Amino acid sequence: MVLSASRYPDFLPQEFDIEYDPASKTVVLDYQLPAPEDLPRLKAVKYVPARREFEEQLISESQLMKLYDEVLYQIVLRTVHELFEADMILAVDVVAINGIVTAINKKTGRPVTACVLSLRTSRAEFDELNLSAVEPKDCFKLLKGVGSSKLHGLSAV
């Protein structure tokens, strides 16, 4: 219920498979993350009076890829936070999350599904963080998350 109630922009999928192991108090979550092409590219729109039309400015490919990586790290950290925060009876000690992306492989033109990042963290470890002040990628690495250096490359982990 917690993840279903979480609000995201329409272009971000909210699909996941979740399992709970009561013996180890562990939640394992396979979370569908957006593909690079799902993110909006529009940077600005300006009106050109001489032509009486609007002109769109898009972010560059390198800006898009940097933004994409940042968004994925933020989604993973936010999701872990939401799961721990909603657990009022302390039934969860560990959250393991796998970030799954389905996208078009630019080399083959065919769809590919890959787990591009994975994180397993304990409540005690996560509670030590001040999420409002962290750099998402650095925080992910501190928690010993696994992912390629460039998530937009869609390399499986």
pLDDT of residue 17: 95
DSSP, residue by residue, 34-82: PPGGGS--EEEEEEETTTTEEEEEE--HHHHHHHHHHHHHHHHHHHHHH
Enclosing H/E stretch for 28: strand 26-33
Whole-model pTM? 0.88
**Cβ neighbours of residue 108 under 8 Å, at least 6 residues apart?**
none
pLDDT at residue 4, rounded to an integer: 85
Per-residue pLDDT tens digits of the chain, which is 157 residues long: 888 888 888 888 789 999 999 999 999 999 999 999 899 999 999 999 999 999 999 999 999 999 999 999 999 999 999 999 999 999 999 999 999 999 988 888 889 899 999 999 999 999 999 999 999 999 999 999 999 878 887 778 7
